[in-house]
Structure 1
Amino acid sequence: MDDPVLRFNLRELPVPMVYATHRIIRDCNEEFSELFGYSRSDLVDRSFARLYPKHADFVRTGHMWGAHLPGGKTYYDERIMTASDGHRFWCRVHGRTRHPTDPFAQAIYCFQALTRPVVLGKIRLTDRQRQIATLVAQGKTSAQIAEEIAISVRTVESHRARLMKAARLTNAAELVAWFSTQNSS
């Protein structure tokens, strides 16, 4: 006897999921809308941009994802997002595209809230420093970071060195631990 094929409606899945075309939310489940404090109707047919602390974060994330999703690949990152009431929280986002050449034409994303605290630190990070620190926290080397965000290894190392000097850190492990308690607004 053949096993029946199981099919699920997005709204039946028990984790925050969203379907988007060209970074416009086309469908989401209740878990996703609750994560951000919106009703589903407030999110459908709206841009993901409203869920980011700053528009620059939305643009930068789009560049990273656009470089890594083509050809049906999966990609993930961790980032700070903003709920409807303005509070910020860390999220791990996994995504996959269905389109072979246009990664944003049809994509599905799974969001997971992280327990990493978002606190105001004494050191304000630039957008680029935050991006690099996030990738370091994912365990990526300077060479991997440079390739991912299309800058030189030397530039990545320069940003890391300035950040570590400002925070009085001596190695990458300390940087990851320090970064997990920081937030640049």
Structure 2
Amino acid sequence: MKKFLFSLTVAMLITIFTSGMNETSAATSVHTVKKGDSLYKISQIHKVSVADLKKWNNLKSSVIHPNQKLRLVKPSKVASSTSSNKSKTPSRSDGPQVVKEFMVSATAYTAHCNGCTGLTKTGLNLRKNPDLKVIAVDPSVIKLGTKVHVEGYGYAVAGDIGSAIKGNKIDVFIPNKTRAYQWGRKNVKIKILD
């Protein structure tokens, strides 16, 4: 009987503790990204899906940055209906604005080369997040963290540097070694986005 009562007490304490944790995580509606965070890690902590995080925050890729604020709950319909009553003003969410475009020499790299750790200069883990669209840049030409569009590659973020990346050269991240070799070296147009 004592074992049964002890087991029942432990089970009740675990239930109370875990329900309290769920209430705490549900009550939090915004997460500030810290270095080393990924959408997957945030989704596990706050018990939401990566797809919902991307949808609720209008993310087109899985790239996030330190100090970025991420919504952890679905935007309320009340907020969206009140904002639609206001006069429409252009914003970043209306689509990316091209600030500058120019030609660059582009090669490709993977996270599994000899001596590679898979971690970018900005702290992105490419081995754990192979779906990320990241390019290595010369920070004196393109600032780290800049959103870009690369012809033939798509939307990406300037999240890495490389010892051979100087001037108008970039390196696009491709998770598959064969596809990286297929990319080769090519001249492409890059658009710097606002």
TM class, shorter-length: under 0.3
Which of the pair has the greater relative contact order for Cα pairs under 8 Å at 6+ separation? 2
Decide which structure has the larger Cα Rg and report it. Answer: 2
TM-score by length of structure 2 reads 0.27
- Structure showing the higher helix proportion among its residues: 1
